[in-house]
Copies of this chain bind each other. A is one copy, B any other.
Amino acid sequence: MTATLRDVARLAGVSFKTVSNVVNDHPYVSDTTRAKVQAAIDELGYRPNRQARSLRSGRTGAIGLAVPELSLAYFAQLADEVINAAEKRDVVVVIEQTGGDRRRELDVLSGSRRQLTDGLLFSPLGLGNDEGDLLAVDFPLVLLGERIFDGPVDHVTMENVDAARAATDHLIGLGRRRIAVIGAHEGEVIGSAGLRLHGYRAALEAHGLPFDKALIVDAGPWHRFNGAEAMRALLERGVEFDAVFALNDELALGALRVMQEQGVRVPADVAIIGFDDVDEGKYSLPSLSTVDPGRREIARLAVEVLLDRIEKGPEEPRRELRSGYRIVERESTQPG
């Protein structure tokens, strides 16, 4: 069917290993032999067989990306960037979904699927931040996101605290003083929710504003639905507020929708800012101010670090990288 080294060798009149040498640019192949072999390769349309290469070399040329679910815009857009970054390095991406479920996350770390890839980019949600030791696996692994710090592996993340602080600063800069937070996770210290809440408190403190627990609304998963629910809860509570910091954009969009249903004017009555800079925020009405966490940079760094780890092995010191962030001002925090 498809041509092999042997077929090419037969046509070129050399041994099949010589063909292999030509293909792999080994030295000590004379120009004439090289040309002869190349001609045979072209004629037969020979392409090295990847499985055989894999078997021999132990490399597959693929990496895994495990995320909660692609239906969440943030992860879809992250996957988009990861695939692009990987493509530049001639590596393909196998995507696995965990649903943020602890059991399935553990599965991803141990399943036989791991043999199909040279390493894994892993964005956990269900694992606790005290379970870092579960990440001590014998294949290259790069952690994404905020669930686990100080794990035994490379980690690429964003400047959650600083970025959240800047987002809050932005609201304060508009003259807002009663800033609600949507999407908190009670008791969490580390993790996106905990870190962003920490940044929020730091900003309040820096401006001498009081922290009011009544302004903090918990939410489970960070879906639109939960943002809507949280806002409904907040409005029912009857507590006054003039701004909202939603811990991600999906929450913000859900909350936005509820505020408008209930006749709250945005941003006149309440300004709102999200986090993630997903594309939808550009086209909501009003468009959504947000924090751009440097998704593209995260994807690029993550792929870079993983391929490095794959190449250099487990001995190299582990790396902890953070992307830059940027406040994106849109209509939902327009002054005036």
Contacts and interface: CB of A to CB of B under 8 A. Distances in A.
B62 A116 contact: yes
Contacts of A83: 70, 95-97
Interface of A: 47-52, 54-55, 58, 60-62, 69-71, 73, 76-77, 79-80, 83-84, 87, 92-97, 112-113, 115-116, 224-225, 228, 253-254, 256-257, 260-261, 279-280, 282-285, 287
Given A93-B95, A97-B84, A285-B285, A60 B71 contact: no
Contact of A61 (B50, B52, B116): B116
Contacts of A254: 283
Contacts of A50: 112, 115-116
Contacts of A256: 285
Contacts of A113: 92
Contact of A51 (B48, B51, B79, B224): B51
Contacts of A97: 80, 83-84, 87
Copy number in the complex reads 2
Contacts of A280: 224, 253, 280
27 contacts: A49-B115, A51-B51, A51-B55, A55-B55, A60-B116, A61-B116, A62-B94, A70-B70, A70-B76, A71-B77, A76-B76, A76-B79, A79-B95, A83-B95, A83-B96, A84-B97, A87-B96, A87-B97, A93-B95, A94-B95, A95-B95, A224-B279, A224-B280, A225-B282, A228-B283, A253-B280, A260-B285
Nearest to A279: B71
Nearest to A76: B76
A261 B283 CA distance: 11
A125 to B, nearest CB: 15
Contacts of A84: 97
Given A73-B73, A225-B282, 9 more contacts: A49-B55, A49-B115, A50-B112, A62-B94, A70-B79, A71-B279, A92-B94, A253-B283, A254-B283
